[in-house]
Amino acid sequence: MKKTTQLYEGKAKKVFLTESGDLVIQEFKDDATAFNNKKKGSIADKGIVNNAISCKLFTLLEEHGIRTHLVEKLSEREMLCRFLDIIKVEVVVRNIAAGSLVKRYGFAEGTVLQQPIVEFYLKDDDLDDPLMNESHAVALGVATLDELAVLKSRAEAINAVLKTFFAEKKLKLVDFKLEFGRHHNEILLGDEISPDTCRFWDLDTNEKMDKDRFRFDLGGVEDAYSEVQRRVLEID
């Protein structure tokens, strides 16, 4: 499948149209940003690692009956995907308190939540992706109430599959962000699932093994990403 025009260039990926109007190619870059673009850098081979991890996790979710945009992994950095009408809602699922949950609500970092928290954020960089509830999303016209209910239940189902999978890999799935899109009357999971979009803590040591190492200059960023890849793909 050949790339045609570039549709979009984001912080971590480029998206290209293909000769088939229904398919796009996501190309994963090494560029890294944090704090809404205020911190910029690069993580060596991140694009390769995130593509490999995302393809594996989307395949796992498909095996559990959760539909995603993945068609196939094309190359080290390229994923062939169904062309989605992206819903401008970022869905965050949390199992353990960290990041903005700690800042906003005063939880102690590491508090295990009684049940997962699902949050909606408006996908809008200019506004710093504000937290929103269903009424905001409907008023803004970004999704219908029915669609938001699908996003929430889909996010919970994805969390159940991923939490079990990562526990087997000796990783705690602390929290993660999902994006969905419309495709022929269906809602599919899109974007990526990777150490850029999830928090992973080592099950035994609680060591952070995700983008927080980049965000907070903890060092060992590349090693953490490749260790997650090794565990997810079970590479010796």
Residue closer to ligand UDP, measured from CB, 90 or 227: 90
User: What would the two tokens of residue 177 be?
Assistant: 């962000």
Three-class SS state of 220: coil
Query: Residue 175, interface with ligand UDP (CB under 6 A)?
Result: yes
Is the CB of 20 or the CB of 100 nearer to ligand UDP?
Answer: 100
Distances (CA, A) of 90 to 118, 119, 212, 231: 10, 8, 19, 26
Q: Which residue has the tokens 């999971």?
A: 189
The residue from 100, 136, 152, 207 that contacts ligand UDP (CB under 6 A) is: 100
Does position 95 interact with ligand UDP (CB under 6 A)? The reply is no
By beta-carbon proximity to ligand UDP, the closer residue of 18 and 197 is 197
Rg (CA), the chain: 17
Residue that is written with structure tokens 């929290």 in the block: 175
Residues that contact ligand UDP, how many (by CB under 6 A): 13
With contacts defined by CB under 6 A, name the span among 1-9, 81-89, 155-163, 194-202 that binds ligand UDP: 194-202
Q: Give SS3 for 218.
A: coil
DSSP, res 208: B
The site for ligand UDP (CB under 6 A) is made up of 90, 92, 99-101, 129, 175-177, 197-199, 211
